Amino acid sequence: MVEHAQHLSREKRQEHTVETMVQMASEHSADEITTTAIAKRMGLSQGALFKHFPNKDAMLKAVMVWVADRLLSRIDKAVQGKEALPALEAALMTHIEFVLNNPGVPRILFGELQRSKMTPAKQMANTLMMRYAEKMKSIVEQGQQAGQLHADVDAASAATMFIGMVQGLVMQSMLTGSLKEMPSQAKLAFKIYQRGIEVSS
């Protein structure tokens, strides 16, 4: 059982704050989530919350760090030891599963990427996207070297298209208000993606 927020260590309090924001973002847009509401959900005063984060932007940056660490580590584990196409599919399905388990994450991520100013949270979101793209690019290049993927496919563009596929699936599900169809839709979308980069046997 999770210890009450008032008795958590600094590190645990920060993690609990991030998890609370992610949970609240599944119910509201990130802009609607105030520090007052966060503190209330956690059973704290705003003063107690601000002992660990100076402002909401710092909380949002911590959310992006939390997302990057958890999502990328899960993808690393999912693709380990696999050839290129199975690795790409495993990365896709792992990402979809992560969104299903944390539906507030894409709301926060899309919200940060749309900001006009470069906030610490937006910078971290951009860093996450670059790390993600580099990981997918590396998998595509490995597949090309193994003769499994077309050599004339631009690996960076293939990585960008992969990310766009994920974002499209998530956005479509957010618009319809239902995430449950994402896994089956992801499998169908990946088959189309695969046909564009795979060397025919």
pLDDT in tens, 135-145: 999 999 999 99
Confidence of residue 201 (pLDDT cuts 50, 70, 90): low
CATH number for 104: 1.10.357.10
Q: Which residues contact 11 (CB under 8 A, 6 or more apart)?
A: none
Structural domain ending residue among the three candidates 53, 74, 92 = 53
Q: Is the pLDDT of residue 8 over 70?
A: no
One-letter amino acid for residue 112 of the chain:
E
Indicate if 169 and 119 belong to the same structural domain. yes
Indicate if 3 and 81 belong to the same structural domain. no
Residue range 10-31: mean pLDDT, rounded = 86
Q: Exposed/middle/buried for 141, CB within 10 Å: 0-12, 13-18, 19+?
A: middle
pLDDT digits (tens, 9 = 90+) for 87-119: 999 999 999 999 999 999 988 888 888 888 888
Structural domain ending residue among the three candidates 35, 53, 71 = 53
What are the backbone angles phi and psi of residue 198, rounded to the nearest 5°? -80, 140
Indicate if 28 and 65 belong to the same structural domain. no
Burial profile 67-79: b = 16 or more Cβ within 10 angstroms, e = fewer: bbeebbebbeebb
Distances (CA, A) of 187 to 56, 128, 135, 192: 37, 24, 20, 9
For the chain, the domain total comes to: 2
What integer pLDDT is reported at residue 2 of this predicted model?
Answer: 42
Q: Is the pLDDT of residue 176 over 50?
A: yes
Indicate if 104 and 175 belong to the same structural domain. yes
Rounded to 10°, the helix 155-176/84-101 angle is 30
Indicate if 64 and 101 belong to the same structural domain. yes
**Quick one: which of 146, 134, 136, 149 has its CA closest to 94?**
136
CATH number for 46: 1.10.10
Q: Exposed/middle/buried for 47, CB within 10 Å: 0-12, 13-18, 19+?
A: exposed
What is the domain extent for residue 48?
1-53
Indicate if 29 and 117 belong to the same structural domain. no
What integer pLDDT is reported at residue 116 of this predicted model?
Answer: 81
